[in-house]
Amino acid sequence: MQALILAAGMGKRLGRYTKNATKCMVQVNGKALIEYAIESLVQNGIKKLIIVVGYKGDVLIDYISKKFNASNLNGMEIEYVENKVYDKTNNIYSLYLATDKLIQDDTLLLESDLIYKPSIIKKLIESPDPNLAVVSPFEPWMDGTCTLLDDNNYITGILDKAHFDWKHTENYHKTVNIYKFSKDFSTNYYVPFLEAYQKAFGKNEYYEQVLKVLSFLSSSVLKGLKVSGEEWYEIDDPADLAIAENRFATGSEKLKRLQHRYGGYWRFPQLKDYCYLVNPYFPPQKMIDELTASFKTLLTQYPSGAQEQSILAGKIYNILPENIAVGNGAAELIKSLGEELTGKILVPYPTFNEYPERFKNAEIVQLMTDKTDFTYTAADILNKVKESGAKTVLLINPDNPSGSFIKKDDMLNLLEELKKLDVKIFFDESFIDFAEKSIRYSLLKQDIIEKYPNLVVVKSISKSYGVPGLRLGLIANADAAYISSIKKANSIWNINSFAEYYLQIYEKYNSAYSAACDAIANERNRFISELEKIPNLKVYPSQANFVLCKLSGDNYSDKIAVDLLEKSNIYIKDLTGKKCFDEKRYLRLAVRNQADNDVLIAALKQIIK
């Protein structure tokens, strides 16, 4: 069996990456695509490789000759076919130029802009089916030609973009652009049809069109070989390159790259995210359906300005519009707070790093918590304020990442004492709705902010309401001038139409939200109980939708995080490097629904020594 790689294209969409090199010379994690391809073929015992070159063909040939020799090719011979009119033709002509090679032996046909696991080549070679197209169940990130398969995996149709229908994607399999053609198939079917198709439609076409014709004429010519979406990736532009580097990185580098994305994990559909913190029980399906029904309207119309957003948010929390502002997530509001803040600010540690990183003009006074339980009390805060002379306090309650909690009476007493001292307090209650029902409370109330003008309440809608993609956050304070200054600091359209519509319809689902918070509190208790059964894992009490854990024995957080990612596609928060967690022992685990939590528990039992 031989292999044929099409590598004549210019790869214009990759911009600077292909200015002086070919598309298949683009580096993914320090190695060129063509290196991955050749190594995969050598590993699987292929003895002859034909490469069709065109754009920068001499550069590619020279690169391959320097990277590979008789010793690392393991006897594989490489031949080249040149497409001199690569800039005026498409891949149908490149393949046509190599048809005399194609009919000499059974052939693996590959495109050069792919990265894939060598196991795909192994599956192709070992399959008893003589003619195969590697296909992958359709996922939303995929683009390009799709196939339809019958119950025996024969390809019954090939769909181009013009015939793609989003309503039927559950029936689609994306072509990976890796094929196995028998000598007989190439000689008697594919090559004659390719020559005829090219003669009729010209050289600026795609070779898949020939397969489309063949599948239309006969549904028993070519089968699909199914592989998962995580086994391959096609690289057409810099965004694809970034995704490929994430998918095909290994070890700590894989985890590091994932951490630096900060989201967009729908591009990794196999990934289970136990790092970012959202409500798994809200919004309900009925609310999602209502949002979906208005999708076109919301997509094509501008949102209202800041004043209207304040009216909508104020209606939900019974707060006057002049005392509340809506942000593009709590992060935007934290940025606005931080830019104006000066003087000493007391921050209990550990904390959510977004706050101290934004307090550039302030002097941070650290309240360090006891590492045995990472808790602190209202009295601890008050004593530190008096000792340090801090004029501002930051308090996240429940705390992130420890989950520790200050109850309502203690909090109100602290507010009273800080008011006497003329000390302002930023109270972030983004996780407070997840507390046990018997102790759950909110300071986001008109009577409370009026009684305590030193109180500024911040709330992330993303986390507690399960809609991080909408980017919604709130801030409230009795000083209308202060709230107005925050609104002016942000753009007039700082939230989009989808987020505004969510605020508009939320009240209809308030009872469903309360039930969802009860559900996550109950599941957190069960989750903690199961985690506590795992040896060498200490679990800290939590009133949030996450749990802080400490490893012991021969177990370290960085290694556990990598192992979970590589072996189980599970992404957790390794707290190594965060202030107060100098030991590589601490993990933060998001609380998801019971089924997902059981998956994590089972994986931890397998990995923790």
Residues whose CB falls within 8 Å of the CB of residue 61, separated by 6 or more in sequence, listed in order: 53, 80
Query: Is 143 a residue whose pLDDT tops 90?
Result: no
**CATH 3.40.640.10, applies to 285-507:** yes
Q: Is residue 371 over pLDDT 80?
A: no
pLDDT in tens, 155-176: 998 887 778 888 889 999 999 9
> Which residues, other chains included, contact 19 with Cβ-Cβ below 8 Å and sequence gap of 6+?
none
Residue 427: strand pairing partners: 395, 457
Instruction: Check residue 347 and give left, alpha or beta (phi > 0: left; psi -120 to 50: alpha).
Output: beta
219 vs 292, residue with greater confidence: 292
Identify how many contiguous H helices and E strands the chain contains and give both numbers: 25, 26
Residue 81 has pLDDT above 80, yes or no: yes
Residue pair 319/468 in contact by the 8 Å Cβ criterion: no
**Strands 114-116 and 107-111, how do they pair?**
unpaired
Report pLDDT digits (tens) over 228-261.
888 999 999 998 898 899 889 889 998 998 888 8
Tell me if 459 sits within 8 A of 444, measured CB to CB. Answer: yes
Q: Residue 337 pLDDT > 80, yes or no?
A: yes
Sequence-distant contacts of 149-153: CB under 8 A, at least 24 apart: 149/173, 149/224, 150/219, 152/223, 153/223, 153/224, 153/225, 153/226
Tokens standing for residue 60: 């590619």
Q: How far apart are CA 556 and CA 258, in angstroms?
A: 19
Cβ neighbourhood burial of 189 (10 Å; 0-12, 13-18, 19+): buried
Residue 216 has pLDDT above 90, yes or no: no
Query: What 3-state class would DSSP assign to 524?
Result: helix
pLDDT at position 220 is: 76
As given in the structure block, the two tokens for residue 597 are 């939590």
The class of domain 248-279+512-607 in CATH terms is alpha beta
Please determine, for residue 219, whether its predicted confidence score (pLDDT) is greater than 80.
Answer: no
What local confidence, expressed as pLDDT, does residue 462 receive?
83
> For 573-596, what is the mean pLDDT?
94
Q: What is the dihedral of CA 290, 295, 296, 301, to 10 degrees?
A: 100
458 touches 430 (CB < 8 A): yes
Contact 462/472 with Cβ under 8 angstroms? yes
Return the pLDDT at 330: 87
Contact present, 94 and 201 (Cβ < 8 Å): no
Q: Which CATH number fits domain 2-245: 3.90.550.10, 3.90.1150.10, 3.40.1050.10, 3.40.605.10?
A: 3.90.550.10
The per-residue b/e assignment along 31-46, b for 16 or more CB within 10 angstroms, e otherwise, is ebbbbbbbbbbbebeb
Contact 359, 390 (CB under 8 A): no
Tokens of 85: 């009119």
Q: Which amino acid is at 420?
A: K
- pLDDT score recorded for residue 197: 92
Whether residue 250 contacts residue 146, with contact meaning beta carbons closer than 8 Å, is answered with: no
- Quote the pLDDT of residue 455: 98
CA–CA dist 226, 303 (Å, integer): 44
Residue range(s) in the chain whose domain bears CATH number 3.40.640.10: 285-507
Give the pLDDT of residue 221.
Answer: 84
CA distances from 339 to 46, 86, 333, 347, 550 (A): 62, 55, 10, 16, 35
**For residue 480, is pLDDT > 80?**
yes
- Alpha-carbon distance 280 to 262, whole Å? 19
3-class state of residue 363 by DSSP = strand
Instruction: Write the single-letter amino acid at 127.
Output: S
Q: How confident is the model at residue 356 (pLDDT cuts 50, 70, 90)?
A: confident
| pLDDT confidence of residue 144 | 81
pLDDT at 180: 97
Task: Tell me the mean pLDDT in the region 71-85.
Answer: 94
Specify the DSSP class assigned to residue 280. Answer: T
Q: Is the separation of the CB atoms in 502 and 466 below 8 Å?
A: no
pLDDT at 596 over 90: yes
- Residue ranges of the chain that CATH labels 3.90.550.10: 2-245
CA distance 358 to 339: 7
Q: What is the pLDDT of residue 514?
A: 96
Instruction: Give yes or no for residue 509 having a pLDDT over 90.
Output: yes
All CATH 3.90.1150.10 domain ranges in the chain, comma separated? 248-279+512-607
- The pLDDT tens digits of the residues spanning 21-67 come to 999 999 999 999 999 999 999 999 999 999 999 999 999 999 999 99
Residue 65 vs residues 59, 206, 457, 581: alpha-carbon distances, Å: 10, 29, 64, 49
Name the residue among 337, 352, 493, 505 with its Cα closest to residue 430. 352
pLDDT at residue 475 tops 80: yes
- Give the Å distances, CA to CA, from 392 to 232, 346, 419, 474: 52, 6, 11, 19
Distance CA 90, CA 92 (A): 6
Query: Cis (ω within 30 of 0) for the bond into 350?
Result: yes
**Taking the CA of residue 390 as centre, how many other CA atoms within 13 Å lie in the half-sphere pointing to its CB?**
26
Q: How far apart, in whole angstroms, are the C-alpha atoms of residue 244 and residue 264?
A: 14
| Position 573, amino acid | K
420-442 pLDDT, tens digit per residue, is 999 999 999 999 999 999 999 99
Lowest mean pLDDT among 111-115, 446-450, 487-491: 487-491
Average confidence score pLDDT of the chain: 93
How many CB atoms are closer than 10 A to CB 77? 12
Residue 419's pLDDT band (cuts 50, 70, 90) = very high
pLDDT band at 286 (very low <50, low <70, confident <90, very high): very high
69: Cα separation from own chain's centroid: 40
- What percent of the chain has pLDDT above 90? 77
Contact 149, 129 (CB under 8 A): no
> Mean pLDDT, to the nearest integer, of 267-296?
94
The answer to whether residue 333 scores a pLDDT higher than 90 is: no
Q: Residue 95 — very low, low, confident or very high, per pLDDT cuts 50/70/90?
A: very high
To which residue do tokens 């060598």 refer?
Answer: 118
